[in-house]
Each structure stands twice: as structure tokens, then as C-alpha cells.
């Protein structure tokens, strides 16, 4: 059986095999999550953070370790004794009095030789008022702030929001045990959401010719018991559906009794009680009534109007929208399958090697055929854009066509001006909304007195009331949140910073790789009762 000879030593047998290089080995545990495509996107990215607080160095740590391309810390502050006490990326008391960004940059760079990092000792507020500063800030893939002064943050968010090509902005706020973050983006198109591990449609109800041929030529009665026990469940179901349709005016089983009857029909097809392939066919029968041509969530994307009319390759998401529109054309094409293209994936099933490989080949060939059709439609619909699109990007899109997601966002703090929305959220998600409002109130007060000396429960409550409107009664959750903020208005706690460092980096990785689904709205965190929640999504 084995091609490896019997009398061997390992060294000889493996002489020609090269283990993976050091880079692949270093990143092995994350490549299993986002693969080489995600890694390439990370390595091509550059991230700007506007402060070297404990929270933002924690975020950077979790971006430098997996290997982003470049980071810049823009921060004019000098490390204080308090900074030296709560920031792991300062060298303790010896950093005190030195430029904070510079100290942090050198300790962060130690984490990964392949990441570039620089410190720019400028004041964000002033830099933002210059053309040079604005051009610099918008040249990054992503900008992240933490407890940035409200005035500056407003200016920054308006500036970045104004340009469709500008990078997303992540806004992080925290005090003591409470925190939140928000990602400002116009649109996030997620080609690989990794949200559903189930293999999508197997086309059992819309079989392609190879499946139909196999099922119709199959004479179950003529098979010997071993062969009978190895017929793949897909073929059993295609055959059973065909038989059902023949006796039901071409209709599929739809009512509960019909579904039950269909399953009984499948079970009756088996020869012996212990044929696992037939058990599998019965268990997978749901695929027959849960296989729409296009899943609802994707259907609404097929006719989604892009946010901009520009379809140049440099316009963010232009390619994704071209692919979505092509998908729409593919589904509508009279000579097509009338559904999303086949992914080509096949789950494992009870069958013999030969049948499985044959079935797998049939799925792969069909998927390749439909992908070729898709590419033709893409070329017809977008003659200028199509040649610029990377083949791998099309492959990924088609493979994930059943799961792709589009998120649309809003400008930072726009929500805080919508009194009606705040009041409604306060009653539907009181603790999350209360914490968000308390943090907004704190930002307003700290804008005037950054040292926190004027933060009191009363002052916070007044600000919260202003936000939601005078008539709105504040729930008790407001008291819990503002009391906690009044206790520690300027505390960047090591554990809260580390928690945010993980959360914000995770979301940054999703935005950069376009894999997994980023937060849409305000993600609020309470580390007293230890919960998180997302509002305004």
C-alpha cells in the first residue's frame, strides 16, 4: 500500500521535504484563521494611532504581533510618572520625562522585526489644522484614537468622513471599568465572513447535469449490499427528489406532512437497517426545503446601489460592487442555473473513496464551469474594470457568494444628535445606552477640564440629560454608569486597556483583511458586571 519503503530511517525518507520557512512557522496559528490572503492584507496595511496611552499601545501590540506592515504613533506627550506605571510599553521610571511615543515605538518594534514603526512628536489637534497634517493622516489604512479631546475628535471624524477614499476611523473611549469603541466607515464589504461553517447549497433541488445523470442511471436494486451502503447521500436525495416530483406534479415537498412523507420515502429506499448513507440522507433532507436560489441576506445585496457612482479600480469597494452586480446578472441569466454559483465544496459523507472522489470532481468541474460563466458576465458588464481584478479575488467571492456581507456605517457621534434614537435605545438597551451616554457626557466635561477635576455625578447627569432631551426620564442604569465614571474619570486601567487592546485590534484586523465581520455601531463594555453589547447597529 505505502509508497514508503519498509526499511528506512526517517532522515532518509524525508530528505527531500522542506519544512515551512520561519515566517510561516511564526504565523502558523493565525494563518489557520485568515490564510495567506489575510496575512498579505495585514502586511500591506499601515495604522496610525493618535496617542501612546496604555490602551493604544495595547492595541498596537496586538497588531504588531500578527504582522501589520507599518504603524505610526502621533503623540506630543512626554511620559509622566502615571504613564510609566500603567503602560507596559514604557520602560518604567526610566521613561519618565522622555517623549512617550518614541519610548513606546522602540519597545513595540521589539515584538516583530518585520513591522515598521515610527513616532511623530506632534500635537494631533494642531497637525490636523494643516494641509500637510490632513494629507498625512488620510494616507493610512486605518486611524485609531483613544480618549482624544472631543473638539479634536469632532474635527478629525468630520474630515475623514468627508472623503470617501479616506481611511476608517476607530474611536475608543474608556474610564475606569467602562469603555466603548466605534468604527467610522461608509461601507465595509466582507468577502469572507467565516460566519457559517456549513457547506452552502449542494444543488440537490437544482441538480446540474452530472448529478442528474448519476442519479437517473443509478439502479439501486441492482447494487450489491456493499455498493448500496456506499451510495453518497447527495445522489440518494437527488434520486428521491426526482421520484417525488414525478408523482407530485413537479413540486417539492413543502408542508410538514409532505416533508415527513419524503423522509419516510428516503428511509424506505434502504436495503438494510444499518445503512449509514441512508441515515445521512434522511438527516440532510432539510437541504431540500432550505435551499432558496439566493439566501435572503444576499438577495438584498444583489440590487444594492453603490454609495458612489465611480467604478474606477481605485474607488473603495468598486470591485466588490461590480462582483455583486455580476452575481445579480448570473442569477437572472436565462441560460444559467437560476441561483448563486456553486461553491464547489463538498462535505464528508458515508461512501467509498471512488464515489466520493467522483462526486467531488463533479462538483469541482461544475463550480469551475459556473465561475467561467460568471467571469464572462463580469467582462461584459464591466469591460474596463474586469481586467484589473485579481483572479483570486473573484475565486474567493464566488466561493463565498452565499455568505458575503455589506455593512453601512455612519459618522462618529452623529447618533448623539438624534434624541429620538437615543431615547428609544435607552429603553430597549438601557445598560449599553446608559454607558454610552455617560461616556459622551464625560467627553464633554473633559473637553473643558482634561484633568477630570470638574467631573461629578451631578455634572455627568446634567450632560446626559442634555443629550437625550429634558423630558426623558433617566433609568437607573444611568446612575450605575455615571457613578463609575465619577469615581475614575481619567483612569486608564491596565486590565481595561488590555481588554480594549484585544477588542480594537481584533476589529482592526477584520477591517484590514475584509475577513470576519466587524462591529457596526457602538460596542460598549462594562468590566464591573463583565458584559459587552452593541448599540446603534
Partner 1 sequence: MATEEALSNGNETDWSDRYYHIDQILDKPGPRTDPSFLAGEEVKRFLRETCKILVIGAGGLGCEILANLALSGFKDIHVIDMDTIDISNLNRQFLFRPKDVGKSKAIVAAEFIMNRVPGVKVTPYFGRIQDKDEEYYMQFNLVICGLDSVEARRWINATLVHMVDPDEPESLKPLIDGGTEGFKGQARVILPTVTSCYECSLDMLNKQTAFPICTIANTPRLPEHCIEWASVLEWPRVFKDKKMDTDDPEHIGWLYKTASSRAKEFKIEGVTWSLTQGVVKNIIPAIASTNAIIAASCCNEAFKIATSSAAYLNNYFMLIGTDGVYSFTFEHQKRDDCPVCGGQAITVNVSKEWTLERLIEMLVEKQDVQIKKPSLATPKRQLYFQAPPQLEELTRPNLEKTLSELVDDGEYITVTASSLPFDLTLQVKYD
For partner 1, the binding residues in 64-93 under the rule CB under 8 A are 65-67, 80-82, 84-88, 91-93
Shortest CB 209 distance to partner 1, Å: 22
Q: Which is nearer to partner 1, 73 or 108 (CB)?
A: 108
Q: Which stretch binds partner 1 (CB under 8 A): 26-34, 163-171, 421-429, 433-441?
A: 26-34
Q: Does 496 bind partner 1 (CB under 8 A)?
A: yes
Q: Which stretch binds partner 1 (CB under 8 A): 257-265, 280-288, 327-335, 514-522?
A: 514-522
- Give the CB-side neighbour count of residue 523, counting CA atoms within 13 A: 17
Among 101, 340, 367, 491, binds partner 1 (CB under 8 A): 491
Q: Does 426 bind partner 1 (CB under 8 A)?
A: no
Cα distance from N-terminal residue to C-terminal residue, the chain: 57
DSSP conformational letter for 21: P
Q: Does 502 bind partner 1 (CB under 8 A)?
A: yes
Q: Does 4 bind partner 1 (CB under 8 A)?
A: yes
Q: Which is nearer to partner 1, 90 or 160 (CB)?
A: 90
What is the C-alpha to C-alpha distance for residues 55 and 75, in angstroms, rounded to an integer? Answer: 14
Shortest CB 234 distance to partner 1, Å: 13
Q: Which is nearer to partner 1, 15 or 273 (CB)?
A: 15
The interface with partner 1 within residues 177-216 (CB under 8 A) comprises 177, 193-195
For residue 138, which of 157, 117, 120 has the smallest C-alpha distance? 157
The interface with partner 1 within residues 354-393 (CB under 8 A) comprises 356-357
The interface with partner 1 within residues 392-421 (CB under 8 A) comprises none
The interface with partner 1 within residues 221-250 (CB under 8 A) comprises 230
What is the C-alpha to C-alpha distance for residues 518 and 511, in angstroms, rounded to an integer? Answer: 6
For residues 104 to 143, the per-residue mask of contacts with partner 1, x marking binding by CB under 8 A and - elsewhere, is ------xxx-------------------------------
Bridge partners (DSSP) of residue 408 are: 187
What is the C-alpha to C-alpha distance for residues 259 and 369, in angstroms, rounded to an integer? Answer: 32
Q: Does 528 bind partner 1 (CB under 8 A)?
A: yes
Among 489, 513, 535, 536, binds partner 1 (CB under 8 A): 489
What is the C-alpha to C-alpha distance for residues 197 and 188, in angstroms, rounded to an integer? Answer: 21
The interface with partner 1 within residues 42-61 (CB under 8 A) comprises 54, 58, 61
Total residues binding partner 1 (CB under 8 A): 98
Among 509, 511, 512, 536, binds partner 1 (CB under 8 A): 509
Helix (H, G, I), strand (E, B) or coil at 105: helix
Q: Does 505 bind partner 1 (CB under 8 A)?
A: yes
Q: Does 32 bind partner 1 (CB under 8 A)?
A: yes
Q: Phi, psi (5° rounding) for residue 466?
A: -60, -40
Q: Which residues contact 22 (CB under 8 A, 6 or more apart)?
A: none
C-alpha cell at 427: 429603553
Contact 468, 474 (CB under 8 A): yes
Q: Which residues of 225-248 are buried (b: 16+ CB within 10 A; e: fewer)?
A: eeebbbbbbbbbbbbbbeebeeee
C-alpha cell at 441: 457626557
Shortest CB 293 distance to partner 1, Å: 24
Shortest CB 501 distance to partner 1, Å: 5
Q: Which is nearer to partner 1, 107 or 252 (CB)?
A: 107
DSSP 169-230: EEEEEEETTEEEEEEE-SEEEESB-----S-----SSS--HHHHHHHHH--GGGS-HHHHTT
Q: Does 527 bind partner 1 (CB under 8 A)?
A: yes
C-alpha cell at 313: 479600480
C-alpha dihedral sign at 458, 460, 466, 470: negative
Amino acid at each position: 500500500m505505502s509508497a514508503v519503503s519498509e526499511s528506512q530511517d526517517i532522515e532518509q525518507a524525508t530528505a527531500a521535504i522542506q519544512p515551512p520557512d520561519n515566517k510561516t512557522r511564526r504565523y502558523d496559528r493565525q494563518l489557520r484563521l485568515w490564510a495567506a490572503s489575510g496575512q498579505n492584507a495585514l502586511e500591506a496595511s499601515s495604522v496610525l494611532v493618535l496617542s501612546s496611552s496604555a490602551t493604544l499601545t495595547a492595541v498596537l501590540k496586538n497588531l504588531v504581533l500578527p504582522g501589520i506592515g507599518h504603524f505610526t504613533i502621533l503623540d506630543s506627550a512626554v511620559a509622566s510618572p502615571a504613564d510609566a506605571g500603567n503602560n507596559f510599553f514604557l520602560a518604567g521610571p526610566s521613561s519618565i520625562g522622555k517623549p512617550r511615543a518614541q519610548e513606546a515605538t522602540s519597545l513595540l518594534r521589539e515584538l516583530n522585526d518585520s513591522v515598521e514603526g515610527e513616532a511623530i512628536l506632534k500635537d494631533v489637534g494642531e497637525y490636523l489644522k494643516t494641509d500637510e497634517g490632513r494629507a498625512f493622516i488620510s494616507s493610512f489604512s486605518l486611524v485609531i484614537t483613544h480618549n482624544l479631546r472631543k473638539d479634536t475628535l469632532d474635527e478629525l471624524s468630520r474630515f475623514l468622513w468627508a472623503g470617501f477614499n479616506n481611511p476608517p476611523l476607530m474611536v475608543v473611549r474608556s474610564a475606569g471599568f467602562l469603555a466603548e469603541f466605534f468604527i467610522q466607515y461608509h461601507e465595509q464589504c466582507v468577502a469572507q465572513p467565516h460566519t457559517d461553517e456549513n457547506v452552502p447549497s449542494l444543488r440537490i433541488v437544482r441538480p446540474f447535469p452530472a448529478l442528474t445523470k448519476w442519479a437517473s442511471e443509478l439502479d439501486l436494486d441492482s447494487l450489491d449490499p456493499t455498493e448500496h451502503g456506499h451510495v453518497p447521500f447527495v445522489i440518494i436525495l437527488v434520486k428521491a427528489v426526482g421520484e417525488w416530483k414525478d408523482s407530485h406534479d413537479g413540486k417539492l415537498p413543502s408542508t410538514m406532512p409532505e416533508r415527513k412523507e419524503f423522509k419516510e420515502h428516503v428511509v424506505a429506499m434502504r436495503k438494510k437497517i444499518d445503512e449509514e448513507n441512508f441515515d445521512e440522507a434522511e438527516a440532510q433532507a432539510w437541504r431540500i426545503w432550505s435551499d432558496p436560489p439566493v439566501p435572503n441576506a444576499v438577495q438584498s445585496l444583489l440590487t444594492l446601489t453603490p454609495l458612489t457612482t465611480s467604478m474606477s479600480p481605485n474607488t473603495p469597494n468598486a470591485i466588490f460592487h461590480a462582483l455583486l452586480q455580476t452575481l445579480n446578472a448570473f442569477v437572472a441569466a436565462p441560460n444559467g442555473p437560476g441561483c448563486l454559483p456553486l461553491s464547489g465544496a463538498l462535505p464528508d459523507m458515508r461512501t467509498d473513496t471512488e464515489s466520493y472522489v467522483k462526486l467531488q470532481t463533479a462538483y469541482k468541474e461544475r463550480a469551475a464551469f459556473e465561475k467561467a460563466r460568471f467571469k464572462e458576465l463580469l467582462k461584459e458588464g464591466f469591460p474596463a474594470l474586469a481586467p484589473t481584478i485579481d483572479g483570486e479575488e473573484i475565486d474567493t467571492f464566488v466561493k463565498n457568494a452565499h455568505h458575503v456581507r455589506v455593512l453601512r456605517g455612519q459618522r462618529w457621534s452623529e447618533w448623539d444628535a438624534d434624541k429620538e434614537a437615543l431615547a428609544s435605545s435607552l429603553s430597549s438597551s438601557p445598560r449599553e445606552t446608559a454607558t454610552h451616554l455617560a461616556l459622551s457626557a464625560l467627553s464633554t466635561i473633559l473637553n473643558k477640564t482634561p484633568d477630570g477635576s470638574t467631573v461629578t455625578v451631578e455634572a455627568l447627569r446634567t450632560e446626559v440629560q442634555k443629550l437625550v432631551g429634558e423630558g426623558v426620564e433617566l433609568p437607573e442604569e444611568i446612575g450605575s454608569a455615571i457613578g463609575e465614571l465619577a469615581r475614575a474619570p481619567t483612569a486608564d486601567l491596565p486590565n481595561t486597556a488590555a481588554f480594549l487592546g484585544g477588542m480594537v485590534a481584533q476589529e482592526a484586523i477584520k477591517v484590514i483583511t475584509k475577513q470576519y465581520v466587524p462591529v457596526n455601531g457602538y460596542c460598549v463594555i462594562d468590566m464591573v458586571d463583565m458584559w459587552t453589547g452593541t448599540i446603534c447597529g
